Structure 1
Amino acid sequence: MTQVELKKRFFDWSVQTVFFLRKLPDAQEYRVVNYQLSKSSSSSAANYRAVCRGKSRPDFLNKLRIVEEELDESLFWLEYINAISSEKFIEDTKPLLKEGDELLSIIVASIKTVVSSNKNR
């Protein structure tokens, strides 16, 4: 998968997450989740764009780790929604969780590759 394709996947996932968030009720517990998930999902997409412009190997690796953290946080909030919603939004979160897991796996594999290649230098 190319960087361009992966940038698009991150962008699309972030947009789909925001569309999902619009379905949440305007209750206090959802307001907090809405804010946090909106921030972390968009941050993972924006930070992946920054990864593509990494100035050095350490910079590239650091930015990948930020993407990993933001993605993991996004997945947490999606799981949290499922936990407090008594199955109301489970079907809506399934594709978001699946894509988020796939993106996280790609990022973790990339981190491992960079770390491994740094050790071999």
Structure 2
Amino acid sequence: MKENIIRNKSFRFALKVVALNVYLSGKREFVLSKQLLRSGTSVGAMVREAEQAESKPDFIHKLSIAQKEANETDYWLDVLFHSNYIDDTQYKELHRDLSEIKKIIASIIVTMKQKIGKL
């Protein structure tokens, strides 16, 4: 069976977001970290939902939601970094991982749209 790269990367990213949430809770930051936790774990959840899509358009729709969640996660990471809740190392690692995930999701969406003739 072929390795599902986006499934694995989005799951590992979710685990990093959970760990960051625990770290931020120790710093008594709950509001921003909760937003990050919700959107950051939702990316992988939507990837998993896409695996069971009812049709190719449904698959594209679910991955498009994952893409939106990834963009929101990017925003919360920026806010946490620029408000000095996370340091440069934490930010760069998570941002790099998220950028890879966003590129893969975008590529999958484009490829699938080409396959069904929507591009």
TM-score of the pair, normalised by structure 1: 0.86
Match of 1:23, SS? helix
2:76 partner amino acid = W
Report whether the alignment pairs 1:83 with 2:70. no
The answer to whether the 8 A contact 1:3-1:52 is kept is: no
Match of 1:116 in 2: 114
Matches within 5 A, 1:96-111: 96-111=94-109
CA contact (8 A) 1:47 1:66 kept: yes
Gaps of 5+ in 2: none
Letter of the 2:99 counterpart = D
The AA in structure 2 aligned to 1:62 is: H
Map 1:13-92 to 2 at 5 A.
Answer: 13-24=13-24, 25-26=27-28, 30-85=29-84, 88-92=86-90
Following superposition, the deviation at residue 3 of structure 1 comes to: 5.5
Q: Which is further off, 94-103 or 5-14?
A: 5-14
In the alignment, is the contact (CA less than 8 A) between 1:78 and 1:93 conserved in 2? yes
Q: Which amino acid aligns with 1:10?
A: S
The CA deviation string for residues 66-104 of structure 1, in whole angstroms up to 9 with x for no partner, is 100011111111111111118x52211211110100000
Contact 2:6 2:105 in 1 (8 A): no
TM-fit CA distance, 1:55: 1.4
Percent of residue pairs bearing the same amino acid type? 24
| Counterparts in 2 of 1:37 and 1:113: CA distance versus 1, 3 Å | same
Aligned to 1:7: 7
When normalised by structure 2's length, the TM-score is 0.87
1:63 and 1:10 map into 2 onto residues whose CA distance is 14
Task: Quote how far apart the aligned CAs of 1:4 are.
Answer: 3.0
Q: For the aligned residues, what is the CA RMSD?
A: 1.9
